[in-house]
Structure 1
Amino acid sequence: MPINATPGFLRSGDLRRRTHVRTLTHVSERTATPQAPPTGAVQLRVAEFDRITEKLGLSNDTERAKAIGVSHTTISRLRSGKLRPGGKFIALTLTALNVRFEDVFERRAA
């Protein structure tokens, strides 16, 4: 359930009104175990990803993460299947590795 707080305050001679919305997450939602990606979800093709990155001289998750611009834990979680690649990761990967989508990702069929 969202909690709304709308304080009014003065700053630099202007009266500005700001709305802060904070959403509370139920405890069970925060501690849920990771599940398989839903139908139609994008997955990292780990063997191809490893082959391409090793060809570029990136032999471990830390080097891969630095080249792509994400944390090494993100790479590790993607490679283990605990995390699905999002749009930002996909874009960064395609740009950093100079590859096509089909080279390192696949869409899981129904």
Structure 2
Amino acid sequence: MLLVGNGIWNANRYFDLGIGVPKTFSAENWAKTAPAQRHFMVSDLQNSTELVGMSAAAVRELLGTPDYTDTDTCLSYLIAQPFDEVTLDLTLENGIVTKVEEKDH
């Protein structure tokens, strides 16, 4: 039984099945989840939080320091990395989020 459990755990890590990964967004869940597994909670984040209209400072307070791009015009957070990186990009104008999109790199 341990072998099966260990096999499932290894498959979860290899295939990114999301077993044991939070699916409900909270700042705490976002911070404690590996960036490459955050895609499991992005839908909940977008449904529960109005990101468009937020200030860059409020986004940083909610999501932490961007781990992909951090400029005056874009805050970008890594949300998946199975083979290619996927980011959640927040476009900024005058320090305010105007657009949110997922991008493959």
Give your verdict on TM over 0.5: no
Instruction: State the TM-score bracket (shorter-chain normalisation).
Output: under 0.3
Question: Which structure exhibits the higher relative contact order, with contacts defined as CA atoms closer than 8 Å and separated by 6 or more residues?
Answer: 1
Structure with greater strand percent: 2
* TM-score (normalised: structure 1): 0.27
